[in-house]
Amino acid sequence: MSPVGGGYLAYQELPKYSDFSFIFPFSIVYDPMTDPDQIILNDLADRCGLTGGEPRDLSIAYTIHVTAKVLFVSVHPTINSQSTFPCPIQNNTVSLS
């Protein structure tokens, strides 16, 4: 796995005694210097159907490091999960010229 992005959320208040969902802002950035053999780029092209196959969803594994204050104590849980979404690039919108 190669890192392909990141994000930051400075502050988020959590309501007491509740389940709470929030949006964590992140961006995906392709850096050819971290992918000299173009493995990430080729996988993206394949999953988006740009190489002739059917498009498939993209899966991104992520880790969020949290610092939370509970009373007067800071806790540092880590959230590891995965998100899947359709490829944002479609074959008919790409022009190689």
State the DSSP code for 71.
T
- Return the pLDDT at 57: 94
- Return the pLDDT at 47: 92
- Return the pLDDT at 46: 92
Complete DSSP assignment for 2-64: ---EEE--------TTS-------EEE---GGG-TT-HHHHHHHHHTTTTSS----EEEEEEE
- As given in the structure block, the two tokens for residue 19 are 């389940």
- Return the pLDDT at 56: 93
Q: How many residues does the chain have?
A: 97
- Return the pLDDT at 95: 52
What does the domain layout of the chain look like in residue ranges?
5-93
- Going from the first residue of the chain to its last (97 residues), give the mean pLDDT of each consecutive group of 10, the final group possibly shorter: 82 84 85 89 90 90 86 89 88 56
Which residue, among 43, 31, 42, has the nearest Cα to 6 in the 3D structure?
Answer: 31
- Return the pLDDT at 94: 56
Global pTM reads 0.67
